[in-house]
């Protein structure tokens, strides 16, 4: 199997190089036969990366510890599910996963464009995709080979890091990767559009589904990562502005800006240059994300260790960036539009400000992430920033974005009249003000929470108004009852209403983040049996501690009786786990989640006399982050649902 995997990788590499060669020859000689060969090679490429991936999966399942990668991330006692998913637990497997998904996506593009072969841009799209695949296969077949052997057969593997033995962690990396990889395709379309000079919005229409789908995957990946951090890492939070978290957040921010500005180009035929800039930046930031995770340049909770890969990624990114700048500069005159913004009071200008703000947040996040490197190089002063910096800089920017989310649907395209504004703003603004007063009386008096909550009310009311208005209009038109009219409206105008559902999800996340960060309670202490610890309305009494062996780990579980306002409210049971193969114990969070607040308990220490150290956190409204995240994903999927019958309406883009 090792040889089979190795050979498959090498064949895949050969096919990707062959495809590039065929396509280039075909383009130079203007010979369709070569282009057809280049196209077919891409299918071969996908086939062999698939075979290589199957081989690696097989090696994991069969405990083939003579393979270094398998020995490093698996062991005999590991449950089968985690053996399969250990595939992407480390760098080498992750790169193979990248190459595999990219080439499968490529095969899908090749199939979808089989009738477009004559159109001039198609070969360039193939060429960009084949080149990207070649880059990853070059790494896989040389520096970072997952099939490399140890030279001896160890009795057992090192085992999978216990922190990764969690269902959320299983899907977090691959979904992020799917997002990263997905943006290769719009990038390829953009490059080919610039090369042949067909600079209208065709490339945007053709790739809209790829864009939104990749964005959905990035969103899922980021949310799963946060959830994993929350339930597994045991520090009571979900986001720490860690370099690797930022590396996934920056592409998300730029991609979100891109999805918005693409809408303006489709609607108003402006911002062509801007969109080209954004898609290049999105793709480069996706590579940067992969690079940051895999290079060991920055210290992070994701401790992967340094390898020689960084330099290759850096070179590839610089090539992409310079190539992108060159192409945009070359086609700049054709990209410039005759149309321009008609008024700063218009829907398109809210989109523009939205773009500026998303990029500003992306920039400040990038700046804070690489600041330690810059600071030392430029000033010699080793100044560094962490969480407080990101919170301080980004919170006001996010709040302005939130305000824009509410304003945008209230303002018409092109130019809004004062009358129209007054009419549309009255109700939401009034609701926000009343809400703010009510919250103030209820005791929420700090500036940021009060602002965030009242802006959230403002946005929710505007979105609700949009849904209500649309449903009523449809009801009037068709005579359908509300419960039929609403879902039909949703489907009929799914781009628009899907977008609003995403916005609703964002607002709900804002509420969750505000509640859980501004009103978090935290305490810690060491208890002997029978003693209690208090936090907020809760009191936790330590009753029992027991230990037992479970598969590949020893578990110590404490039982604590929970009292809320003096009344019994069930038990909670944090654990400490000693995995056979791990050097250190792990704490298992015991979590009681609710719509109002989460009670979050970890047990970071057990003493000789069965005294336990507890860390207890109360996180208000935290569950709404996951609910909002679910809505964002659902809205994104609604926005790209395929058409059932009619072709050619506004929803149909292909």
Partner 1 sequence: MKKSVKKTVIAVMLIVAGVGFLIYKGISETGVYYLTVNEVIAADPESFNDRGIRVSGKVVEGSTNYNQRDLLLTFTVRDLDDETKTMKVTYTGVVPDAFKPDVEVILEGSYDRESNTFSATTLLAKCPSKYKTEETGEKE
**Interacting residue with partner 1 among 611, 627, 637, 643 (CB under 8 A):** 611
How many Cβ atoms are within 10 Å of 650's Cβ, its own excluded?
Answer: 10
Are the C-beta atoms of residues 295 and 312 closer than 8 Å to each other? no
Helix (H) or strand (E) holding 335: helix 332-335
For residues 287, 120, 13 and 4, what is the CA-based torsion angle, rounded to 10 degrees? 110
Residue 587 as a binder of partner 1 (CB under 8 A): the answer is yes
Residue 467 as a binder of partner 1 (CB under 8 A): the answer is no
DSSP string, 81-137: HHHHHGGGSSHHHHHHHHHHHHHHHHHHHHHHTTT-TTSTTHHHHHHHHHHHHHHHH
353 versus 563: smaller Cβ distance to partner 1: 353
Residue 360 as a binder of partner 1 (CB under 8 A): the answer is yes
Helix (H) or strand (E) holding 491: helix 482-492
Residue 338 as a binder of partner 1 (CB under 8 A): the answer is no
**Alpha-carbon 273 to chain mean position:** 26
Residue 610 as a binder of partner 1 (CB under 8 A): the answer is no
- Distance between CA 199 and CA 507 in Å, rounded? 35
74 versus 192: smaller Cβ distance to partner 1: 74
3 versus 381: smaller Cβ distance to partner 1: 381
Select from 78-86, 171-179, 557-565, 578-586 the region that touches partner 1 (CB under 8 A). Answer: 578-586
285 versus 349: smaller Cβ distance to partner 1: 349
Residue 331 as a binder of partner 1 (CB under 8 A): the answer is no
**Interacting residue with partner 1 among 318, 325, 356, 482 (CB under 8 A):** 356
Q: Quick check: helix, strand or coil at residue 216?
A: helix
Are the C-beta atoms of residues 641 and 530 closer than 8 Å to each other? no
109 versus 264: smaller Cβ distance to partner 1: 264
Minimal distance in Å, beta carbon 645 to partner 1? 41
Paired sense of beta strands 612-620 and 538-550, if any: unpaired
Place of tokens 């996180």: 619
**Interacting residue with partner 1 among 80, 303, 447, 647 (CB under 8 A):** 303
Residue 448 as a binder of partner 1 (CB under 8 A): the answer is no
- Distance between CA 222 and CA 224 in Å, rounded? 6
Nearest residue to 519 (alpha-carbon basis) of 449, 592, 418, 614: 449
Measured in degrees and rounded to the nearest 5, phi and psi for residue 528 equal -95, 165
Select from 223-231, 442-450, 581-589, 590-598 the region that touches partner 1 (CB under 8 A). Answer: 581-589
Are the C-beta atoms of residues 4 and 51 closer than 8 Å to each other? yes
Select from 99-107, 388-396, 444-452, 497-505 the region that touches partner 1 (CB under 8 A). Answer: 388-396
Residue 154 as a binder of partner 1 (CB under 8 A): the answer is yes
17 versus 612: smaller Cβ distance to partner 1: 612
**Interacting residue with partner 1 among 422, 423, 607, 652 (CB under 8 A):** 607
Residue 298 as a binder of partner 1 (CB under 8 A): the answer is no
Per CB under 8 A, residues contacting partner 1 are 68, 72, 90, 150, 152, 154, 158, 161, 299, 303-305, 340-344, 349, 352-353, 356-357, 360, 363-364, 367-368, 371-372, 381-386, 388-389, 392-393, 396-397, 524-526, 583-587, 604-605, 607, 611, 613, 615
């Amino acid at each position: 199997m090792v040889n089979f995997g190795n050979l498959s990788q090498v064949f895949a590499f050969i096919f990707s190089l062959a495809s590039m060669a065929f396509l280039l020859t075909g383009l130079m000689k203007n010979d369709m036969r070569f282009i057809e060969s280049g196209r077919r090679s891409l299918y071969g490429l996908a086939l062999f990366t698939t075979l290589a991936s199957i081989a690696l999966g097989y090696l994991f399942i069969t405990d083939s510890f003579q393979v270094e990668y398998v020995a490093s991330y698996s062991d005999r006692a590991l449950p089968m599910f985690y053996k399969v998913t250990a595939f992407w637990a480390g760098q080498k497997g992750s790169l193979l996963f990248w190459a595999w998904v990219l080439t499968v996506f490529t095969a899908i593009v090749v199939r979808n464009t089989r009738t477009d072969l004559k159109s001039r841009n198609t070969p360039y799209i193939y060429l960009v995709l084949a080149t990207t695949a070649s880059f990853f296969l070059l790494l896989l077949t040389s520096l970072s080979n997952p099939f490399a052997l140890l030279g001896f057969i160890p009795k057992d593997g090192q085992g999978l890091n216990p922190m990764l033995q969690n269902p959320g962690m299983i899907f977090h990396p691959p979904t992020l990767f799917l997002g990263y990889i997905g943006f290769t395709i719009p990038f390829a379309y953009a490059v080919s559009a610039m090369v042949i000079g067909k600079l209208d919005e065709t490339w945007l229409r053709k790739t809209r589904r790829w864009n939104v789908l990749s964005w959905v995957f990035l969103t899922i990946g980021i949310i799963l990562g946060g959830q994993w951090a929350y339930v597994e890492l045991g520090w009571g939070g979900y986001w720490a502005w860690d370099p690797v978290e930022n590396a996934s957040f920056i592409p998300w921010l730029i991609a979100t800006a891109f999805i918005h500005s693409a809408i303006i180009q489709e609607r108003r035929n402006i911002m062509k240059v801007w969109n080209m800039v954004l898609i290049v930046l999105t793709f480069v930031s996706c590579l940067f994300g992969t690079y940051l995770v895999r290079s060991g340049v920055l210290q992070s909770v994701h401790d992967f260790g340094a390898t020689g890969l960084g330099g290759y990624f850096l070179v590839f990114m610089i090539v992409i960036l310079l190539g992108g700048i060159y192409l945009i500069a070359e086609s700049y005159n054709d990209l410039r539009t005759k149309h321009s913004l008609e008024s700063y009071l218009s829907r398109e200008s809210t989109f523009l400000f939205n773009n500026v703000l998303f990029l500003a947040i992306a920039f400040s996040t990038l700046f804070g992430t690489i600041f330690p490197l810059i600071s030392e190089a430029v000033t010699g002063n080793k100044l560094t920033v962490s969480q407080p910096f990101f919170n301080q800089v980004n919170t006001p920017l996010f709040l302005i974005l939130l305000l824009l989310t509410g304003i945008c649907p209230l303002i018409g395209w092109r130019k809004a009249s004062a009358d129209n504004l007054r009419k549309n703003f009255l109700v939401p603004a009034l609701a926000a003000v009343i809400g703010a007063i009510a919250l103030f009386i209820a005791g929420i008096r700090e500036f940021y929470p009060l602002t965030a909550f009242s802006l959230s009310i403002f946005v929710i009311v505007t979105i609700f108004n949009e849904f209500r208005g649309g449903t009523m209009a449809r009801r009037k038109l068709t005579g359908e009852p509300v419960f039929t009219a609403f879902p039909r409206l949703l489907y009929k105008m799914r781009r628009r209403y899907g977008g609003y559902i995403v916005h609703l999800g964002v607002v709900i996340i804002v509420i969750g983040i505000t509640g859980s960060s501004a009103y978090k309670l935290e305490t810690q202490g060491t208890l002997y049996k029978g003693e209690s610890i208090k936090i907020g309305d809760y009191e936790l009494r330590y009753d029992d501690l027991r230990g037992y062996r479970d598969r590949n780990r020893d578990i110590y579980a404490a039982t604590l009786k929970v009292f809320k306002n003096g009344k019994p409210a069930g038990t909670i049971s944090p654990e400490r786990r000693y995995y056979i193969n791990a050097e250190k114990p792990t704490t298992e969070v015991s979590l009681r989640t609710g719509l109002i607040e989460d009670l979050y308990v970890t047990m970071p220490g057990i003493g000789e006399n069965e005294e336990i150290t507890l860390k207890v956190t109360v996180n208000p409204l935290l569950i709404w982050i996951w609910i909002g995240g679910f809505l964002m994903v659902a809205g994104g999927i609604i926005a790209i649902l395929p058409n059932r019958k009619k072709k050619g309406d506004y929803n149909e883009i292909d």
